[in-house]
Amino acid sequence: MILRRFVKHVTEQNWFAVGLDMLVVVTGIFLGMQVTDWNDERNEQLQIEQYLSALENDLQQDAEMLIPVAEQIDLRGTKGRMLAKHIKDIPLHQLSNLDLFLFTTSPGYRPYSWNRATLDQLKNSGAIRKITSPELIKKISDYDALSRHLDLDYTNDEQYMHEAFSLAIKIIDMNYPNSRELVREANRNIVNANTRIQDGPLYKKALSNNTVLLTQDLPSIRAMANVYKEISQTLSSRTSHEIPRLKKYGQEIIELIHQHYPITGSTNSVMHKKETP
């Protein structure tokens, strides 16, 4: 229809009508391209909203995962400090093999298990660059970087704690019946600040074994205690600085998501939940 009318106007040399026909065609093409671009952009933003909704759930799960990990880190740090104080305050001939066994056993903590599926999709698809808030993009990047830094910390902590335990087994006789239950009882008493590890029934029963240290070399014992003390100081930075900062990043990401995108979700996050033993 438009083509026939255009040819007719050219044949008639009606240049005003020809120009008008061309203007109609160009305008139609321009509007069509604009509508296509608008639809593409809208579809991209809908996809980003889906990504961010899933990311919020992942951050909530990360926060829940961190609670028992932080508790284990705190316990390991406390045991290292107790070991150092125990060796400093008590004469060599009074050092208890059982006490040192309980302070040094199971010095590690479980690895982090991040929920990175959505974050990896955001990065790999390039969708993170289409997020409309530069502040949100930065917070997501900060969270990703810090969580990966904590993974590296975990690897280093594990190696350091393995080396410390290698020192301990040369000094402490680890041969106790029901040692796993014995350590669990001691850990519960350590978490309960009002209870001493010596107050447990399994502890009192284990005393009857009369197990003694494998060596009376005081420099070796103090060297071991120093390593455990250094580990406890390192672990302290995890729960006092790094993990709280990561949880703060996560909470800020959720708040920015709710601010910039109309995503249904609860702002009452476990990010602020206090770890309890």
Residue 118 · residue 250 · CB < 8 Å: no
Q: Which of 41-50, 98-107, 165-174, 251-260 has the lowest mean pLDDT?
A: 41-50
Cβ-based neighbours of 222, under 8 Å, separated by 6 or more? 87
91 phi-psi bin (left φ>0, alpha ψ -120 to 50, beta other): beta
> Whole-angstrom distance between the N-terminal and C-terminal Cα of the chain?
79
Cβ-based neighbours of 112, under 8 Å, separated by 6 or more? 65, 66, 69, 147, 150, 151, 154
pLDDT at 214 (0 to 100): 95
Q: Is the pLDDT of residue 77 over 60?
A: yes
| Cα–Cα dist 146/52, whole Å | 19
Residue 256 · residue 142 · CB < 8 Å: no
pLDDT at 178 (0 to 100): 87
pLDDT at 274 (0 to 100): 44
pLDDT at 92 (0 to 100): 87
What are 116-132's pLDDT values in tens digits? 999 999 999 888 988 98
| Cα–Cα dist 26/51, whole Å | 37
Res. 195 pLDDT band, cuts 50 70 90? confident
- Enter the tokens of residue 262: 């109309």
Q: What is the mean pLDDT of the chain?
A: 84
Q: Is the pLDDT of residue 182 over 60?
A: yes
| Cα–Cα dist 107/276, whole Å | 20
pLDDT at 252 (0 to 100): 97
Please state the rounded mean pLDDT for residues 93-103: 93
Per domain, the residue ranges of the chain are: 44-175+211-272
Q: Is the pLDDT of residue 272 over 50?
A: no
